[in-house]
Chains A and B, each alone.
Chain A
Amino acid sequence: MRRDRLTPVERFAAYGRGEPLDRLPCVPIVGNTAARVLGVKVSEFRGNGKLIAEAQVAAYRRFGYDVIRIFTDLYTQAEAMGAKVHYPEDETAYLAAPAIASVEEIASLQPANPHQDGNLPQHLEAMELAFQAVGGEVPVTGALTGPFTTASFLIGTENLVRLTLKNPAAVHQLCEVAYQGALVYAGAILDTGCTPSLTDAMCSTTVISPRQFKEFGQPYLKRLVDFIHGRGSAVTLHICGKTASIWEAMADTGADCLSLDNAADLEAAKVKVGQRVRLMGNVPPSEIMLQGTPAQVRTAVRTCVRQAHDNPKGLIIASGCSLPVETPFANIDAMLDAVRKIGWPVDADDLENES
C-alpha cells in the first residue's frame, strides 16, 4: 500500500492553499475504539486523562488518520452540571438520569467549571497531553457538545422537546446556561492547544424541525463558533441523523466544516453549501464500518469521493459519526487504504471502476 508523503498538518495546510496533496484527508472518527488499540477497558478512560491521551495517540499512530478527537461520550459537560452518567465496564457510557426534572429547577443550574467539575479536568488533561505529543503533526481536537444537546441531557430529551413548543422561554434559559458552560469549556480547550470540535446531536431534523433548530440550536452554535474564530481556530460542526433541510442554517453558524451523518447525501450537500463549507463524511458507522467487510468499506469510500471530491471548499472522507467501539481494525485500515489508493488528484473516471 502507498505510504503517506505528508503529515496531517501539512496535508490540511496544502489542501487549504490549493496545493498538490498525496491523498484526501481521511478521518475515521475514533472515540472509545482507541481503548481497543491499547487493550484497555472503556471504563478505564473515566477520570484518566493520561490514558485517554495515550490511547488516542496510539490509535492515530496505528491507523495514520488526519484528526485526533479527544472524545469518550457526549455527556461530559452535562455530567459536570449534574447529570448522572452510567459507565458500563467496557462499553460507551450512557445517560442514567438528567440533572433536573422540572422547569422550576433550571435556575439552580450553574455553568460547569472545566478545571473542577465532573470529568472535564481529565478531558482537558487528555487534550493537553495529546497535543504536546503529536500536535505538531496532526490536528488534535476536543469534543464540545452543543448547548441544545447538553440541555437535553440536563432536563431529559422528551421534556426538552415538549418544552420547545410549550415553554420556549424555558428552553432558552436551559440553552443559555449550557452555552455559558460550553463557552468556558471551549476557552479551556483552546488553552490546551486543541481546537473545539462541535457536536449537536439533538439538533438533527430526525428530532426537531428546521424552525426549531433555527430558534434553539443555531443561535447558540453561532456564538460558540464566533468565539472560537475569535481565538483564531477553524471549527467543525457535526449534527447526527437527518440534516438536509438545515445545511444552510448549519453553514450560517459560521462553521468552517460540516460533518454529516450517513443519513445525508454528500452530493446534495455539495450543491447546496459546498461554496461555503468543507464537507466531512459519511461512511455508515454501523452498517459498513462495524458490520461490513473491508470491500464494502472501500466501496463506501469511493461513493463518498465520487459524490463530493470536487466540493469547492474541500472534502474530508470520514465516518458518518463516531465509530462503534468494536469496529474491526481491518475496516479502519480499509478506509485509509481506499483513500490512499484513490490518491490525488482524484481521477473521476477511475472511481467508476471497482477496486
Chain B
Amino acid sequence: MSNQTETLFRALSDAVVGMDEDLTRQLSTQAVEQGIDALTAIEHGLVDGMNRAGKFFETEEYFIPELLLCSDAMYAGLDILRPHLKHAENQIRHKIVIGVVEGDTHDIGKNLVKIMLEASGFEIVDLGRDIPPQRFVDEAVKAQASVIALSTLMTTTMDGMAEVIKLLQKANVRERFKVIVGGGPISQSFANRIGADGYAAGAPAAVKLVKQLIGVAA
C-alpha cells in the first residue's frame, strides 16, 4: 500500500470520526477516481472510522448524536464505494435480521446495533420497529439469515422475544439461527430464561457477541 493511499484511508477514517459527511463523500470519490480498491477503502477508511467512533462511544467521549452523525458519514461514503465492489465481495456476508419487537417504537438502540454490525461487514435485513414475532421468523427463513437480533425498550414487549423463539421451535428452524436480544429492560438472565443465544448491553458489545456466536474473526 502506497503512503499516499494510506494517507487517504486515514483521511476517510478521520472524516467519519469527525462526522463530516461532505468530506467523506469527497474522499470516497477521490478513492474511486484514483482506482483504489473499494473494499480496502471501505475497510481501512470508513469502517475503521466507524469502529473508532464506536470506541469513543464506549468510553463516553461520544454519545448517540455523535455516533449517528458518524454513521451518516460512513453511509454517504458507502453509497459511493459500494458500486465499485467486485461482485464476489458482495456475496459472502452473513445476514442478520434485526428489528424492534411488536408493541414498541423505540428504535435508536436497534439502529445503533445495525450500524455497528453493518460496519463490521454483516448484511443487515432491518425490519424496522413494532414487528410481530412471526415476521421475524418468516424474514429470517426467507433471507437465510445467520442471526436474528431482537430489541426493545419496553418491558411490555419482552414476551414478544420469547414468542419469536417459540415460533422458531414450532417451525423446526430454531437451530438455523442464533437469536440475540438487547434493550433497556433486558438482562443476561432474561436471555437465558427465554432460551436466546446471547445478550449484549450495547452496540459495540453486540458486534463482539455476533462474531463469537457465528465464529467469525474479530
Contact = CB atoms under 8 A, between A and B. Distances in A.
Interface of A: 86, 88, 91-92, 94-96, 157-158, 161-162, 164-166, 205-209, 212, 240-241, 245, 285-287, 290-291, 324-326
B182 to A, nearest CB: 13
B155 interface: yes
B63 A94 contact: no
B64 A165 contact: no
B160 to A, nearest CB: 11
Interface stretch (B9-17, B35-43, B183-191): B183-191
Interface string B65-105: 11011001000000000000000000000000000000111
A205 B60 contact: yes
B63 A91 contact: no
Nearest to B21: A166
Given A161-B68, A324-B156, A212 B63 contact: yes
B214 interface: no
A325 B190 contact: no
A207 B190 contact: no
A27 B69 CA distance: 39
A81 B107 CA distance: 22
A205 B103 contact: no
B65 A208 contact: yes
29 contacts: A94-B103, A94-B104, A157-B108, A158-B107, A161-B108, A162-B72, A164-B65, A165-B65, A165-B69, A166-B69, A205-B60, A205-B63, A207-B63, A208-B65, A212-B63, A245-B60, A285-B185, A286-B158, A286-B184, A286-B187, A287-B185, A287-B187, A287-B189, A287-B190, A290-B185, A324-B155, A324-B156, A325-B155, A325-B156
A92 B184 contact: no
Contact of B156 (A91, A95, A287): A91
Contacts of A157: 106, 108
Contacts, number: 80
Interface string B190-205: 1001000000000000
Q: Name the 6 nearest CB pairs between A and B, nearest first.
A: A286-B185, A324-B155, A161-B65, A91-B156, A209-B63, A287-B187
A154 B186 CA distance: 27
Residue of B68, B72, B130 most packed against chain A (CB within 10 A): B68
A212 B65 contact: yes
A162 B65 CA distance: 5
Contact of B105 (A95, A162, A290): A95
Contacts of B105: 86, 94-96
B167 interface: no
B19 A158 contact: no
A158 B106 CA distance: 10
The residue in B105, B186, B189 that gathers the most chain A C-beta atoms within 10 A of its C-beta is: B105
> A-side binding surface: helix, strand, loop or mixed?
mixed
Interface string B131-169: 000000000000000000000001111100000000000
A86 B108 CA distance: 18
A233 to B, nearest CB: 30
B111 interface: yes
A165 B19 contact: yes
Nearest to B61: A209
Contacts of B108: 157-158, 161, 207
B47 to A, nearest CB: 21
B66 A165 contact: yes
Contacts of B156: 88, 91-92, 324-326
A207 B184 contact: no
Nearest to B157: A91
B162 to A, nearest CB: 12
B137 to A, nearest CB: 21
Contacts of A95: 105
Contacts of A326: 155-156
A88 B105 CA distance: 12
B65 to A, nearest CB: 4
Contacts of B193: 291
B65 A209 contact: yes
Contacts of B158: 286
Contacts of B106: 94, 157
